[in-house]
Amino acid sequence: MKASTLILALLIRLIVIIIGEYQKSITGLEYADLDYKVYTDGAKYALEGLSPMERHTYRYTPLLAYLMIPNIYFFNFGKLFFCLNDLLCSVVSDKILKL
C-alpha cells in the first residue's frame, strides 16, 4: 500500500471529523454513535477506580475503556484513535493479502 494512499485516507477521515464537529456546533447533533458515548463513560468509570462493566449497557472489553481514558482529557482522541487503528488494519490486511 502506497504512503500517498494512507495519507489521503487519513486526510479524508480528519475532514469528516472536522465536518462532524462543525455540524455539532451548528445543530447540536453529535457525529458519533451511542457506543462512542458508552466507551467514554466506561473510561470515566475506570478513572474513578470502578469497573467499566458497572456502567449500564457496557458490553465491551474493559481494555477498551482503559484505552479510551485519554478521550476524557484530549478533544476527539477517541475518534482519532479509531481512525488510526482503521488505517493500521488496512495496512495489515494489505500485507496479508500480498503473502
Residue 40 is predicted with a pLDDT of: 92
Torsion of CA 88, 16, 60, 70, to 10 degrees: 80
Decide: pTM greater than 0.75.
Answer: yes
Question: What are the residue ranges spanned by the domains of the chain?
Answer: 3-97
pLDDT band of residue 10 (cuts 50, 70, 90) is very high
Summarised one tens digit per residue, pLDDT across range 16-66 is 999 999 998 999 888 778 888 899 999 999 999 999 999 988 999 999 999
**Phi/psi at 55 (5° precision):** -75, 130
pLDDT given for residue 30 in this prediction: 80
What are the cell numbers at 58? 457496557
pLDDT of res. 47: 95
Query: Is residue 58 within a helix (H) or strand (E), and if so which, with residue range?
Result: none
Quote the CA–CA distance of 76 and 69 in Å, as a whole number.
12
Angle between helical axes of 3-27 and 77-97 (0-180°, round to 10): 150
Amino acid (one-letter) located at 67: L
